[in-house]
Structure 1
């Protein structure tokens, strides 16, 4: 069961070429998880509760933030945007059992952690964006920002979830948020029907998340080792890469958009005296196309491909997915009908192969199979353009990860 509370307020003061913004955000989440495991007794042909593997976990994440930013032009060619966000994050957890003491609970779960914990993080997250206009439709940008990446609840929950009798996933209550600093240099050029942009970037992240596999020390009834997937904090991850993108509008009916990102990353860090550092390269690409058919029916495709990548233990195959959508405005500015196909080729599957000193593991994971959705949207006193404009402006200064303005 999860309860969430969000309060956000933004203030915008434009003045000529300058603009000042400020805002606050309070976001609290409270999760309560009751996990019960039942075993089947072959003799009595009945299920019974496994008291050693049935737990409760309460988890709270409270984020309090305030930000301010200011942008302006200096002369005809140069403009800037400076921002600063102050954020306090509070993470609280309580793991308990209806059948075991806390000491017995920690021993049964198999990882060292404090069953009742509270962590607090106070940080400043600056953002600097500088733009130099070479010409009217050509510019160079230089940017810097700092962000926080908080672990989600399922990364914290220490209770095992079983995808098979030999494979479990366990969260790690000792996970800390990861902090990153990113620098990027970009170039953009516009023509009548074509927009081209490219950039290079460098990112350094501390306490970066990494998922490892290790033996639990437990076996199945027929002697097969049970393997645990566990998220950990590594010391650092450094990434350097480049991106090329283009938007092409050959006609009013057709719009094409694509990008390609290639990067090299290096991670370093130890966990339980095991070195999980690695160096590797990977890439990903995105593309989308939108075309207006006869009868003013819009068809849109969105494709994504993540190239193969690997860490110290695991090789991951590439992933391709394609989404399709048809949209028709039935009543102008009032009623819109939409038909969506998510993962049209049913290919959004994560396949990986893991090698350690004591075991090898093949896995395939699919979050959700191909799905079809039909929706009707009726707008009261509001056009579709109004909604798109508001969506593009809302929440500009309050990115949930922090440091993004």
Structure 2
């Protein structure tokens, strides 16, 4: 089998790239290690920057987003019993959209299937060959049969644990990493959200986040120990702890109920450089990870897709390599700014095991500065709604 662009990974970034290329007549094949149901079963964040919304519009996949998504003009930040709002539209003229990543993925699958796009599920033992040459190819196994996919380019959209980054020789790539000393315990519940906007809570007991997927589906998180397991926490224990970490006025309004999903996510910041090796390009979590504070994971993957998509269009439509040659540099310039924001916001809102009394005072002073300073709020708003591509 032969295609123009082989895309490894059938998550939202791989599907978005495939659908965007389709709109310009560029052929692709997506290889996904799991089943479609498995991919759609993964619970992820649901805050979309305007740049990603525009890409979904260009891909023809934004109808349901605009019908069901919730525009958020700001967010709430609490510390102890104090709470204030950062107004995004006042500072940037733009909101963010709350729309679950699972729904984005579902819309993209529907579009690729409607267009007759080629997606190979249960693709195991994926190996990238000759990625640094002009004739790369990918081998993989489906139902015990070995297959070969020849292509012009390979897009590695297969996440942190995928094969794409590992295909780049160690002597070529350099990796940067910070592992945080805590995780996020998250639950999904069929309950109305406690507030119509997100609440990021700094508490002496640890961070908490009150989020939502829609008017009747809420997503809540609390900072927890890395040694904790989801089964260590009953629903009742989770709700009690969440109430302790948000202002009493909000806790009194919280509607609780049985969880329909419960999981713990570790936090890390990670970047690999470069994001290109010959005809192999890394996108999203294959190249970088951010802590979930501020919901930048999917959005940063979308900015990678934007740069790669435009570079490939320039190659096929204008016979120019300028776009693909600049891909890694452009993508990384934005990635590092996003990493900085996620690191800063995480440092602002969480408790750390090695914090001194002085450190805690500095953290509170930083939050109060953000509360009272319009320039600080504008800087946060610009980062939250998404830096320009």
TM-score w.r.t. length of structure 2: 0.23
Q: Which is richer in strand?
A: 1
Q: Which is richer in helix?
A: 2
Name the structure, 1 or 2, with higher relative contact order (CA <8 Å, separation 6+). 2
Rg bigger for which structure?
Answer: 1
